[in-house]
Every structure is written in structure tokens, then in C-alpha cells.
Structure 1
Amino acid sequence: MTPHKTAFFAALLAATVPAAAWAQAAPAAPPTLGMQNWPLPDTVSVEGKAATAAAVAQAMPDPLPPIADIRKFVDAMQTAMGAQLAKRYEVRVEESAIAGIPVRIVYPKDVSELGKGPVLLNLHGGGFAIDSGSLTETIPIAARTGLPVVAVLYRLAPENPYPAALDDALAVYQALENDRKANRIAVFGTSAGAGLSGQLVAKLASMGRPMPAALGYLSGNADLSVRGDSESWMPGPGFDWVAAYAGQTPLTNPIISPIRGDVSRFPPTLLLTSSRDFLLSPTSIFARTLHEKGVDARLVMFDGLPHAFWAYMPIPESDQANEIVARFLKEKLDAAAK
């Protein structure tokens, strides 16, 4: 197996599989060398240090199991962690469909239906290949905003290359827009979901459609045609996942890589990353580009923690990150309603 492929699934599975659980199913493998193995600074919580050490020690099988087996395993872990979060936050999760697309709707306490009020649209992470966040990314945000979250269970690569996932996201977004104005919708996603969220906004802009109230762009890549510096010294997916997702679409296409197009119409955008996140570079580059184009773009960087830690690590920094995201989305929705 290539180092890039190993790093790819390490990044995907780290977001859903506790080290001990995966180690039982996988033979030992030598640790990946890189920045993530350097001692963490004391700016990271005790809990953050322990969780990061467990993630770094996680063994990966070589060769990897078939993608169907990986999805089954990750889905089970997502469900287990989702149940814990649902209990903690007192939310209700409903399996449903919107515009014929399967979705998970997360209702916070005392909210029983979508109605025609403000709503959050989530596009989960997982390298476009698995679902590593439709529950763990959404439950804390629903509870902290007091708003329902619709998580799109979009079609996955490699079986369904671009634009399948984008088409699904757009269909659900437009269905939600039928019942409320665009400025009563906020969009957010982590990792691949951040990339897909940016693609959705770019697609809406290209169609001349009104923008959502806000975008939560949580550690993503808005230019799939190049690699940033952080990807050269921290383990990450490499290009295998990009090729599987893009299919026959050129990586410089301004929808699949929004930074290649006109981003001046993007809504207020919160960009979140960490100093040991392999997508630190593309996230910060996109923040700078949005800012240069006059967009209200806010970049928040945590110290020392790995990629998308807020979606799977039960640590104080995850609570802080989720609170930052929830407050930003809620404030922008409230402001748009005035």
C-alpha cells in the first residue's frame, strides 16, 4: 500500500474509530513519522493530548479492507458515538428523505419539526467516500443553536463521482429553500463536507441564486488541483481521494475548486482548522482569498490538534470549536432576519 493511501484512510477512520476498537481488527503497523508525532505543547488540554496520542498510535491494516467493509465499520462507530451525543445533548435524530435524497434530521430539545423557520444544512466529512460525521458533526451544533440540522446523506465516491454528491446537496438545499428564504438557511461541513459546502455555494452563485445566510467551512480544500504546504509535512489523503471524487471533471473547474472562480458573492464564512491539521494550508488560503474579495471571512485556528478533531474527540477544545461554529451560524441567521 502507498503511504498516501494509508494516510488517506487513517485520516478518514481517525474521525470515527477509537484506536482500541480499530486495533482489535487490524495488525500492528509502524507509526507514521511527521509533525503529529512531536510532543504536544501545554496549550493543548490534558484530554486533547491523550486523545491525540491515541489517534497517532492507531494501527491501520495493510492491505485495507474493501470499501464496503470500511463503511460498515465506520457507520457502526458513527452510530455508537451519535447515540452518546444524542443522550448528552437531548436531541432527536430522524431518518428521512428530502427531494428523494436520504437525510438525517437532528432536532434539538423542544423542536419537533422543520417548519418554515431557520434551518442548518450539513454536508458530512469522510473523503467523499464514507460518512464520518452526519451525527457527530451535527448533534452538538443543533443543540447549541437550538435549530434543526439537516444532514445530507449524499452519494459517495468512487461509485458516484462528481457531481453526484453536489447534485444531492443542491436538491436538498433547493427543497429547503422552497419553504423559506435562502437567508434562513446556513450551510456547514467538515473536511470533504467543507469542500462540498463550498462547491454548493459556488454552484448557487453560478446559477444567480440568493446566498445562504452563512457558511461554516470547517477544515476543507477549495482548490483540489494543488497541495498546500501543510499537506507536505503532515499525513493526509494525498490525491487518491481527489481523483476518485472528481472523476472526469478537471480539478481546475471553478465549481469543484471554488477558489478558481469568483468567490466575491460568498456569504459570511467561518473557517476552522488546527496547527496540526493537514488541511491547515488550504483552509487558511481560502480564508485569505475570501477576505481579499471582500467577504466577511473569519479564520479560527486551534493549537496542536489534528484534522477535524471537533467531529470525534470528546475534549474541551471540541466543545469550544462547536460553540464557535454554532454561535457564528446562529448570529448570521439572526442578523439576516432583521
Structure 2
Amino acid sequence: MMRKALIFAALLVGAISVSAAGQAAPEAPPTLNMQNWPLPDTVSPEGKAATAAAASQAMPDPLPPVADIRKLIDAMQAAMGTELQKRYDVRIEASTIAGVPVRIVYPKGVSALGDGPVLLNLHGGGFAIDSGSLTETIPIAARTGLPVVAVLYRLAPEHPYPAALDDALAVYQALEKDRKARQIAVFGTSAGACLSGQLVAKLASLGRPMPAALGFLSGSADLSVRGDSESWMPGPGFDWVAAYAGKTAMTDPILSPIRGDVSGFPPTLLLTSSRDFLMSPTSIFARALHEKGVDVRLMMFDGLPHAFWAYMAIPESDQANEVVARFLKEKLDAAGK
């Protein structure tokens, strides 16, 4: 039962994500996609098995109500989080910062946030569920040796933009009271990547100092357009981005940072994979940052689906988490010198 739940949840993690709002998916003839394209030998056996298992499961039609989806994903996070907590020997604390609920993940040997370096996570889940506040954070806390604060921001559709951004900004500013901005690194996956970019854009608009680094892990910095990979790879079966954006124009330079001035962005790591339907917007943002002189790195994994590191227990997930942890730690160390 748990295996089936995790496979279904994995499908939802991929489906409840981000796509251009207000646009109908263009009709196209059948094409190769994750469901019928053989997996390459560059993918580990574990990666092949996990991807094939997820691809073999049909998306429920109709989809369950959002409240039921949240319960299912919460159960997935609890189950996977328990396993990760045992593996990495971390401590998880439920807390509140600036009136916003958070999960704080303490690596072994760290008992409090103190006033030292800290990582701020904005989880994925299509702005509507929590598909990563444990699975995205536990490996990073353990691998960096730094505490991670996962913001449990308000969710759409009940709380449209800028509610989630306001929550992220409030927590960030509270952390900044006890340390300099260069002692904070921000990262997020999927919708959390989008929100992370929006947070940095908001800080820039306020004239605030930049964090030491940004981990933009498979997202979009322009919600007003659809990239090529979104047209030929399986993506969301539904679109909650419009509900998230509310009355804000998709071209707003905070909602879609690429529409504004990104020249002041901190060093940024962008992570994607070749069967990630958000491969195009992730790489487009990498190019935009590079053109503005930002220290940017784009890392692509082969053959794996969207945000695989957040829900697949495979060697490539370990590799992805190591890439993220090393980048964030290196930039925090460099900024502190």
C-alpha cells in the first residue's frame, strides 16, 4: 500500500508543479515522452526502476480534491522523512518564525540556529501542497552541516500571490536580524524554485543585500510563457499557477524575475534533468543570469523526470543533493571570509 501511495505521490509531485498560466496546452500529435521512450543506460538501475514504476501509473481522472491530495502528499513526506531522518541522523523541529510556521532541520552536532550560517528552503508542490519540506531539506542539512529552515508558506488557491512570498520574506528578514545576508543561502525545488527566485527579486527591489547563494532547482523564472520542453514532455495534468498568481500579471518582474533586472542576483545553481518538463525554463533562466554577469552554474542529469531528488531514493538523488549542498556551502564559506 505504501509503495503504491509513494508512486502516486511521485506522479503528483511531477504533475502539481508549474506551467504557464492562462494558456491552453497546444494540441500536438503523439510524440515520444517519458511513458514510451526507453530509458538510457546512463541512468542507474535504481533510477530506471523508479522512473518506470512512476511512468506506468496512470494519473487519476478525475483528480482528487486538493484537500485529499495534500493529505496524501503529507503522508508521503512523513514516510520518506522518517527514513531520511534515520539515514542522516538529523533532528527536526516544528517552530514559528515571524509568525510563519517552519520546519527546522538540525544536522548532527547542531542544536540551535544561533547567529551563524543558515539555509532557507522554499518547498515544491505547485504552490498548493508541501511536497518537499522534509525530502528536500534533510539531505542538504546533513551534507552541509548547517541548519535548514523550511518555510511552510501559505498555499494556493486559498492564499494567492503574494501570500507565499510575504511568508518567505518575513522568515528571511527574521533570520537576517541575527546574521548578515551573506550568511544565508536560499534554495527551492519546482514551485519552490520559482518562489526562491521571486524572493531574491523582491530583496533586490527593496535594495536589500543579497544572500550568499541561490539554489534554483528545476523551476521557471517567467510564468508568462511556456518553454519548448513543456510542449513535448509530460507535464502538469492541471494548472494551479493561475490560482497562485491571482490578480497579478504574469509578466510582473517579481512574479517572473526574468522580466526584471537580474544582474544583482547572487551566485546561482540551476538543476534540471533531460526528461524534466521544466528543463527549458530552467536553462533559459541560467542563460539570462549568465548574460547579466551572474556567477551561474547549470547542472543537468540524464534521463530522469522532474524534481526526482525530492521523491526518488536512487543514486542520482544522492548525487543531486551533494551538488546542491556543496555549492551552497562553498558560497557561504566564501562569503564569510
Alignment of 1:171-320 (within 5 A): 171-237=170-236, 240-320=239-319
Q: Which runs of 4+ in 1 moved over 6 A?
A: none
Contact 2:15–2:235, Cα closer than 8 Å, also in 1: no
Contact 2:218 2:282 in 1 (8 A): yes
Q: Give the corresponding residue for 1:41.
A: 40
1:46 deviates by 0.5
Q: Pick closer, same or farther for the CA change 1:15–1:232 going to 2, 3 Å.
A: closer
Task: Read off the aligned partner of 1:163 and give its amino acid letter.
Answer: P
Query: CA–CA distance in 2 between the matches of 1:260 and 1:293?
Result: 13
Aligned mates of 1:308, 1:36 — CA distance in 2: 14
Which AA in structure 2 matches 1:130?
A: I
User: Contact (CA 8 Å) 1:142, 1:149: kept in 2 or not?
Assistant: yes
How far apart, CA to CA, are the structure 1 residues paired with 2:136 and 2:92? Answer: 13
Structure 2 unmatched ranges of 5 or more: 1-8, 17-29
Name the Cα RMSD after superposition.
1.5
CA drift of 1:15 comes to: 8.6
Give the C-alpha shift of residue 171 in structure 1.
0.2
Q: Which TM-score applies when normalising by structure 1?
A: 0.91
1:35-82 deviation per Cα after TM superposition (whole angstroms, max 9, x unaligned): 212001111100000000011012322212211111011101111100
CA distance in structure 2 between the aligned counterparts of 1:158 and 1:247, rounded to whole angstroms: 9
Mapped to 2, the partners of 1:14 and 1:296 lie a distance apart of: 29
Change (3 A) 1:13 1:229: same
Matched-pair contact (CA < 8 Å) for 1:15–1:308: no
| Distance in 2 between residues matched to 1:238 and 1:126, nearest whole Å | 14
Q: Matched residues, percent identical?
A: 84
Question: What residue number does 2:12 align with?
Answer: 12
Structure 1 residue 13, shift from structure 2 partner? 3.6
Distance 1:86-1:314 versus aligned 2 partners, 3 A rule: same
Partner amino acid, structure 1, of 2:87: R
Aligned partner of 1:4 in structure 2 is: none
User: Take 1:303 and 1:198, find their aligned partners in 2: how far apart are those partners?
Assistant: 24
Cα distance in 1, alignment partners of residues 206 and 12 from structure 2: 32
Segment drifting more, 274-283 vs 72-81: 72-81
The residue type equivalent to 1:12 in the other structure is: L
CA apart distance, 1:12: 3.1
1:121 and 1:149 in contact (8 A); partners too: yes
Query: 2-side partners of 1:223 and 1:175: how far apart?
Result: 28
C-alpha displacement of 1:237: 2.2
Q: Secondary structure at the match of 1:115?
A: coil
**CA–CA separation in structure 2 for the residues paired with 1:10 and 1:149:** 23
**Structure 1 unmatched ranges of 5 or more:** 1-8, 17-31
Superposed displacement of residue 118, structure 1: 0.1
Query: For residues 249 and 91 of structure 2, what CA distance do their matches in structure 1 show?
Result: 40
The Cα of 1:224 is off from its aligned counterpart by 0.1
Matched residue of 1:35: which SS? coil
Q: How many correspondences in the alignment?
A: 315
Distance 1:242 1:222, change over 3 A: same
- Cα–Cα, structure 1 residues 15 and 136, in superposed 2: closer, same or farther, change >3 Å? farther
Q: Determine if contact 1:201/1:211 at 8 Å carries over to the other structure.
A: yes
